[in-house]
Amino acid sequence: AERIASTSAEVEAIRNGEYATDTARVDLNSSKSLLNRYFMGLPMDDGVRSSKQRFKALMPIYDDEARSLILPSHLPLHVRHVQLPPEYQQAGKKRIQSLLALAACVRLHHHGLLNERLLPLERQDLHDKVMKVALPTVPIITPSKPCTDAPPRAGNDSKTMYLYRLEQVGEMFEQHEEALGGRKRKMGILSITPVPQIDICLEHESLGDVSVSISEVAKVVVLADQWSQSKDFFAATMNARWRRRTSHTHFEYSEEAVGAK
């Protein structure tokens, strides 16, 4: 992978044993903890935090033999590799790691990932920056106007809706299909209003290369009890997969979100 040489600011910080802005300072005693604090604050799936092996993959990796530091993969390849100038590579292991972490902190600040107080950015700022780097090809979808149509609510009430097939293609999905005997069943999206078509490819940490697309299948007439079953299934799926495992908060379907009074 392409690497970049240490910048003059990194070299100066290594030489002085510290790096300072107008409002903050980091030195060899605090550089490793600051670096770990930054990466632990990144958005990550709850499953990553519950697995030591997967969690370590998202933390800085010190290569003691090569006297270098590899930053996690959400950063561009050409900035992930941090190496000391030759004259500092004969120091002890602990000092080398502190020097590498200090240089990495300078680099993160240079790329706008640490603020002027040398603290990690707010979670939303981090999320936006990570998505900008990791998913540059995802299409931008213009938010649609709020839906004013109401879904079927009771009795024989019905509504014509749009049914979409959610296509998720990848080696892991194929293994699940074969192991679970899914018989080509797919997740679907049931919507009162049309949903923009989506066709993206991305590299998922656990699932590998994944292709995701949404295409219209049909217009269907949905009765009130069918709509209720769809809501219950959606809520169960959200709670089973996406809610924080350490929280007592559960996802609740909101009728107001789809225009119901």
Q: Nearest CA to 111 among 78, 68, 70?
A: 78
- Predicted pLDDT of residue 96: 93
Judged by DSSP in three states, 249 sits in: coil
Q: What is the pLDDT of residues 108-128, one digit of tens each?
A: 998 888 888 888 777 666 677
Report how many helices (DSSP H) and strands (DSSP E) the chain contains, helices first: 9, 9
User: Rounded distance, CA 51 to CA 239, Å?
Assistant: 20
pTM of the shown model = 0.47
Helix axes 93-110, 31-40, angle to 10 degrees: 50
Q: What is the pLDDT of residues 76-92, one digit of tens each?
A: 777 888 988 888 888 89
pLDDT confidence tier of residue 12, bands split at 50, 70 and 90:
very high
Q: Is the pLDDT of residue 26 over 90?
A: yes
Q: What is the pLDDT of residues 228-248, one digit of tens each?
A: 888 888 888 777 766 555 566
User: Rounded distance, CA 235 to CA 251, Å?
Assistant: 6
Q: What is the pLDDT of residues 185-225, one digit of tens each?
A: 777 888 888 887 778 887 776 677 878 888 767 888 999 88
Hey, which residues does 218 pair with through a beta bridge? Answer: 163
Q: What is the pLDDT of residues 28-49, one digit of tens each?
A: 999 999 998 888 877 777 666 6
Location of structure tokens 């924080």 = 244
User: Rounded distance, CA 42 to CA 101, Å?
Assistant: 17
Percent of the chain's residues with pLDDT above 90: 16
Q: Nearest CA to 116 among 41, 13, 38, 21?
A: 21
